[in-house]
Every structure is written in C-alpha cells, then in structure tokens.
A and B are shown apart, each in its own frame.
Chain A
Amino acid sequence: MKQVVYDGSFAGLLTAIFEVYEYKLKDVTLCREGDFSPALFEKHHVVYTNEQKAKRVMAKLNSKMSTAALSQFYRCFLAELSEMDNCLLRYAKYTVSSKNSVENNYRNPDVLLVQQISRKVYREKHRMEAFVRFKLTGDGLYYSVIQPDYNVLPLILKHFRERYADQRWLIYDVRRKYGIHYDGSSLEEVSIDFGSSSQASIVEERSSVLDEKEELCQQLWQQYFSSVNIPERKNMKLHIRHMPKRYWRYLTEKMA
C-alpha cells in the first residue's frame, strides 16, 4: 500500500488524482498533510499541488458528470473526513473509466456514499445560512462566529454576499481559525490572531465594542423567540432535531 500525501487543498486533491494516473500508482491511500504519519517500511508519494494538473482532472470530471454531481464531489471534499478522500479517488476513477455518467448508480457503494456525505454537508451549509447570528459593533461591522462540523464557509459566501450586499460583515469559523470579511464590495479571507484567548472570550472581547442598540436588538429577538412559542404544543424532541444542541452556543435566542 502506498500513501499519497497532498496539502489538503481541493486543487491538491485533484493533482493527487492526476498523479495516480500519471505514475500509475497502485493500491494507494490518500492522506492530507496534517494527518500524515509516515508508516515504517512503507513508501509514500508526495504531491505538489499543480494548477495545470488540477484543471485537467476538473475538465475530465466535468465532461463525465453533471454540475450537480460535481458540486457533490466538492462538498464531500469539504467534509474533511479521512475516509472520504479515498472514496472520492475511487469515485473519480470509476467516473473516468465509464463511458456514461455513473452519478446515479446508487448500487455502487462509492456513488452512494458521495451522495450521502454531500447531502450532510449540504444540510450543514443550509443550517449555517440559517444559524449565523450577526452582532453589530460600534464601527458598523456585523460579525458572527460559527463552529460548523464541516468546512462550509466556502459554500455559504455567495448567499451572504448577495443578501447583505450593503453592509460590512465578517463570518469567522473558530474551529478552522479563518473567516471571510466583506467590506461592502469584495470578499477577503482573514485569519485573526486572537492570541491564546478561548473561543468564548473572542465573543466577549468584541462585545465591549458593540453598537449601542445591539443589546436591545438581542433582547427583542429573545423576547420574540419566546413569544412565538405555543406551550400547548411543546415538542422538545422536534425542536432539538431541527436545532441540534451543538449549535446553541452561538445562537442569540438560546443565550437568554
């Protein structure tokens, strides 16, 4: 078995797929740099991300699958699950070797897994579009902290840019330690150094510089959330299914 190590970027994954063909690598396991620990007596192959190679793999996949399937493929990459990269490799090989599109062949375990995982990622993307809560700082920035299971930030940008075109905002993923800042016209990736402060205190630190109306707005929202509840119909199981507890800590209405 041969470990193929790449840098963890999407272009890196595509390059790795290219090189599996290029060097006719057999019996390989893909591995992201960060997770790589060289095994004794085993050779490994290091991939240097190459835009050209990545583009060619992309073009090949593009010619063999629908855009919907291609975005499923990308979403699975963003899941950052260790076993997933190998599934994507097999899926890509299966696609390349077949004459017709295979994306709907749910009888194939890799196709099915891609379908299932991409749906999970999609669901979290959708949840993040719903659960982002902006707070307004004194200098007019709407900022939000999130901690998604998957790396969904790249997937939600379009939505937030279209919707909040006329306000400055920042969405920060504390788990992956990077965020996206929109200045009213363009997007920029940022990584903020919060030093050693814990995630909770990031929020507190910033709240000292909140807009004067911010607290009132939060109270109003909390009031609204409790007023719309109909106690006669209480159903906590359903509530938690829709709003899993792991998201609560960043939800304004759940902080009251």
Chain B
Amino acid sequence: MNTRTIEKLSILADAAKYDVSCSSSGSKRKNENGGLGNASGMGICHAYTEDGRCVSLLKILLTNHCIYDCAYCISRKSNDVRRAAFTIDEVVDLTISFYRRNYIEGLFLSSGIFKNADYTMERLVKIAQKLRTEHRFNGYIHLKAIPGASEDLLHQAGLYADRLSMNIEMPTSEGLALLAPDKKREDMVQPMKYLKKAIAENIDSKSASNRSRLFLPAGQSTQMVVGATKETDWDVLGIATEFYQKMKLKRVYYSGYVPVSNDKRLPSVGTPVPFIRENRLYQADWLLRFYGFRVGELLSPATPQLEMEIDPKLSWALKNMQVFPVDINSADYQLLIKVPGLGLESARKICTARRFGRLNWEHLKKMGVMINKVRYFLICDKDYERKDWQPEQIRSFILNGGASKYKAAFSAQLQLF
C-alpha cells in the first residue's frame, strides 16, 4: 500500500457503491483459531455515509476494467471513465489494515470482468483464500459470483467466503436482453442453483460427520436494478419471491437506478433516483418474509405498482377494512402484525404485557406505539369515539398527521415511460 493506493481506492470504491447490499450479518464464523476477527450474528455498521447508508464492509471492485457493455453500469466497456486495478496483495492489505482498526466487518469484493469469467473469479477466490489461510482472518467476506464462472471456482469461493452474490441485475430476461446483451440469464441462474445444492450438501454432510466446515454460512443474495426498465413492482416482487423460495436466497436487494448514461434505452442523466420506490419495495419484501404476506395480497396484475404515498401495509389494510378493527386485548399475534403501525416487536410486547392485565391506549403509547396510525385499526379498553371512517378518510388523516417523509422528493419514475 502506498499513496497510489489512495487513488485506486477512490476509483474502485466509487465504482462499487452502486451495489447496495452491505450486510455483514447471518454468518457463523467464530474466532476459534486465535486469529483475527469473527463474523457471527448481527453485523455492525461502523459508519454511515452522508446519504444515511450503513458502511459495514470494505466494498470495492478488484478492477473496473470490463469486457462487457451493460448499459446501466458505470464500468461498461464503452464508458469513458478512469480505470484502475488492485493487485491481490493490495486488497488483502487494505482489508486487514481496516479490520484491525475496527473500521469494517470485512470485505465485499466484486469486479468488472477482465479476460473472461474464470480468470476474474480465480482472482477473487485467491484473495479470500489468502485472507483466510495466511492471515487467519475470520471476518466477513462477501464475494461476487461472476456470471459464467466454473463450478469448481464457485465451490472454492464457497469454502472461503461467507456469502456469494450473483446479481440478476434486471428483473426479467427481456430487460436483460435489452440492456446487457452480453449476459445470459442462464449464466446467472445456473451458478445460483449449483450453490444452493452445495450449501445444502454441506449442511447434510456436517450432521453426518459432525465436522464444522463452513460453506457460505451467510448464503447467497442477489440484486435487481429497479427503475431502469419497464418492469412493475408486481414483476419485481414476483421474481424476488421465486428466488427466496426456489433458490433459498437469504436476501434480495433492490437498487434504485442511478442514471449514469445518456443511452436512449435508459432514463436520462438527471432523472431522480427512484428511492421512494426502492424503499417501498424493501418494505414489501419485509412483509413477504416476516409478516406472512403473499405478493398476491399486496399487488395484482391489475394493480401492479406499490403506492408511493403510503407504505404497503397501510395500503393493504385500507383495501381490506373488513379485517379491522382488531381487539388489542384478544387478537392473536399473526393478526396484530398486520395492523399498520405495529411492528413485530410491538406486537410481541403487546402479547406478553396483556397477560398481566388489560391494555389501554396509555399503555400502548408508553410502549412506543404510534397511536395516530394504529387507532383506526384497533380497539382498546377505553375506546376513542369510533366512527365508521371510510378508507379514503383514514388515508388522508394519516397522511396529514405526519406528512410523508418523502413528499418533497416524490418521484414515480416509471410514469415517464
């Protein structure tokens, strides 16, 4: 490492930042060899960028040279940008130096494709291997799986990394064909299938021989760019569900497209980043994974977009008023978590606390529940005067009570098409 490394870092961190995932949780790696670091349990956000995102990993590209020309990507071959490449040792050094100073939880290494898929993948694997074996590093390692990489390399990557991600980039094959003609959906899906199998096999063999060999303890994830093509939220969430169920992915990330190109096929530079939409997708994703909702309950081919103005749970509730109001003192947990304004934790708390006696609004308030939102959907001991509000009225009460955080930056980019 030297001052030239600073320059490389500025280029290669800048080019990597559009991959939104920065999670370092979900692994099980302990520091059992008296070496450096661990990656068990919740990852830590060591810093937050000025846009409020968590910085947990050293997220860089090995190089931004690329033989491909994906239209949405800042590193695409035809783009006139400064190029750089780290050496293997530079990446290893940076990771260790940052980790020892408690700057990071580990490394998230991705790369443009130079020469070919395997040549690139081999180098990513080499770095992970060096960290694990030469430096006895037990921190978190997330590697990008390069589309088209051989199974052998994917397997090796799985032995050293905590997580691998294959970014599907565009929600549909048509989107991909339009914007990334060099890439084939199949080259992305195949490795996912392979890794899913390898993860399952490792778990099986572990119980048989009781070895503690880790193989991708934090599983696989993927990312989709939203707002670059015409896909609806119904499409996006449908595909996400498929990944969760069929590929057993741990996470699907949604990245609101940041315009980086004047390509005619894409929203022009200067178009606002659709970050409300991105946020709504995450909320919906959360509802699917933890709140027992199905995509079909939130959206349909006839109403394929999430509402921008209100969150997906509220939107669902207003369309399903026959479910409400529910009684805070008797409704079961599964129903409580469907109440707009109640999260998993407050629902859990309510269930425990009501065993000690009946709850009223005052108790809820003290537990930190936002009364102004839940009051339309709950009944308590002493009730607010109940009126039969229409969904439209409730919507406007809630909106005017606490003006949407996003109103100023409101952008529904899709309507441009």
A interface residue numbers (CB < 8 A to B): 102, 104-107, 112, 126, 129-136, 142, 144, 162-167, 213, 216-217, 219-221, 223-225, 227-239, 241-243, 251-253
Q: Are B9 and A220 in contact (CB under 8 A)?
A: yes
A105 to chain B: which residues have CB within 8 Å? Answer: 353, 356
B97 to chain A: which residues have CB within 8 Å? Answer: 213, 217, 220
Q: Are B34 and A165 in contact (CB under 8 A)?
A: yes
Q: How far is the CA of A199 from the CA of B1 in the complex (A)?
A: 31
Q: How far is the CA of A252 from the CA of B316 in the complex (A)?
A: 45
Q: Are A223 and B51 in contact (CB under 8 A)?
A: no
Q: How far is the CA of A228 from the CA of B103 in the complex (A)?
A: 14
Q: Are A229 and B50 in contact (CB under 8 A)?
A: yes
If the complex has contacts A163-B31, A164-B100, A166-B34, are A228 and B49 also in contact, measured as CB distance less than 8 A? yes
If the complex has contacts A220-B5, A225-B55, are A236 and B44 also in contact, measured as CB distance less than 8 A? no
CB within 8 A of B17: which of A164, A213, A227? A227
A216 to chain B: which residues have CB within 8 Å? Answer: 1-3, 5-6
CB distance from A40 to the nearest CB of B (A): 37
If the complex has contacts A163-B31, A165-B36, are A106 and B275 also in contact, measured as CB distance less than 8 A? no
Interface residue B161 (Cβ < 8 Å from any Cβ of A): no
Q: How far is the CA of A101 from the CA of B34 in the complex (A)?
A: 40
Given contacts A163-B38, A164-B102, A227-B17, 12 further A-B contacts (CB under 8 A): A107-B353, A130-B45, A135-B101, A136-B101, A162-B31, A165-B34, A166-B35, A167-B36, A233-B51, A234-B51, A235-B51, A239-B48
Q: How far is the CA of A174 from the CA of B59 in the complex (A)?
A: 32
Q: Are B1 and A224 in contact (CB under 8 A)?
A: no
CB within 8 A of B101: which of A162, A217, A236, A239? A217
CB distance from B159 to the nearest CB of A (A): 22
Q: Are A166 and B36 in contact (CB under 8 A)?
A: yes
Interface residue B263 (Cβ < 8 Å from any Cβ of A): no
B interface residue numbers (CB < 8 A to A): 1-3, 5-6, 9-10, 13-14, 16-18, 30-31, 34-38, 44-55, 58-59, 94, 97-98, 100-103, 136, 258, 272-273, 275, 349, 352-353, 355-357, 359, 363, 366-367
B258 to chain A: which residues have CB within 8 Å? Answer: 230, 232
CB distance from A129 to the nearest CB of B (A): 6
A132 to chain B: which residues have CB within 8 Å? Answer: 102
Q: Are A243 and B48 in contact (CB under 8 A)?
A: yes
Q: Are B101 and A242 in contact (CB under 8 A)?
A: no
The 8 A-B residue pairs with the shortest CB-CB distance, nearest first, are A238-B52, A233-B51, A227-B13, A242-B48, A104-B352, A105-B356, A235-B52, A106-B353
Q: How far is the CA of A241 from the CA of B275 in the complex (A)?
A: 19
CB within 8 A of A130: which of B6, B10, B30, B44? B44
Q: Are A144 and B49 in contact (CB under 8 A)?
A: no
Q: Are B136 and A166 in contact (CB under 8 A)?
A: yes
Q: How far is the CA of A132 from the CA of B50 in the complex (A)?
A: 19
If the complex has contacts A104-B356, A107-B363, A130-B44, are A230 and B101 also in contact, measured as CB distance less than 8 A? no
If the complex has contacts A144-B102, A166-B35, A217-B101, are A131 and B50 also in contact, measured as CB distance less than 8 A? no
B35 to chain A: which residues have CB within 8 Å? Answer: 165-166
Q: Are B355 and A126 in contact (CB under 8 A)?
A: no
B102 to chain A: which residues have CB within 8 Å? Answer: 132-134, 144, 164
CB distance from B44 to the nearest CB of A (A): 5
Q: Are A107 and B17 in contact (CB under 8 A)?
A: no
CB distance from A229 to the nearest CB of B (A): 5
CB within 8 A of B37: which of A142, A163, A221? A163
B13 to chain A: which residues have CB within 8 Å? Answer: 223-224, 227-228
B103's nearest neighbour on chain A, judged by CB, is A221
If the complex has contacts A167-B36, A239-B51, are A227 and B363 also in contact, measured as CB distance less than 8 A? no
B56's nearest neighbour on chain A, judged by CB, is A130
Q: How far is the CA of A228 from the CA of B12 in the complex (A)?
A: 10
A129 to chain B: which residues have CB within 8 Å? Answer: 44
If the complex has contacts A163-B38, A232-B258, are A112 and B49 also in contact, measured as CB distance less than 8 A? no
Q: Are B356 and A242 in contact (CB under 8 A)?
A: no
CB distance from B208 to the nearest CB of A (A): 29
B20's nearest neighbour on chain A, judged by CB, is A230
Q: How far is the CA of A119 from the CA of B37 in the complex (A)?
A: 26
B356 to chain A: which residues have CB within 8 Å? Answer: 102, 104-105, 107
CB within 8 A of B357: which of A107, A223, A242, A253? A107
B17's nearest neighbour on chain A, judged by CB, is A228
Q: Are B44 and A133 in contact (CB under 8 A)?
A: no
B6 to chain A: which residues have CB within 8 Å? Answer: 216, 219-220, 223
Q: List 26 A-B contacts (CB under 8 A).
A: A104-B353, A106-B367, A112-B367, A130-B45, A130-B46, A142-B101, A165-B36, A213-B97, A217-B1, A217-B101, A220-B1, A220-B94, A221-B103, A223-B13, A224-B13, A225-B49, A227-B17, A230-B17, A235-B50, A235-B52, A236-B50, A238-B52, A239-B48, A242-B48, A242-B52, A253-B47
Q: Are B49 and A230 in contact (CB under 8 A)?
A: yes
CB distance from B9 to the nearest CB of A (A): 5
A243 to chain B: which residues have CB within 8 Å? Answer: 47-48
Q: How far is the CA of A74 from the CA of B357 in the complex (A)?
A: 27
A107 to chain B: which residues have CB within 8 Å? Answer: 353, 356-357, 359, 363
Q: Which of A106, A112, A243: most chain B CB closer than 10 A?
A: A106
B273 to chain A: which residues have CB within 8 Å? Answer: 232-233
A242's nearest neighbour on chain B, judged by CB, is B48
Q: Are A213 and B1 in contact (CB under 8 A)?
A: yes
Q: How far is the CA of A6 from the CA of B214 in the complex (A)?
A: 50
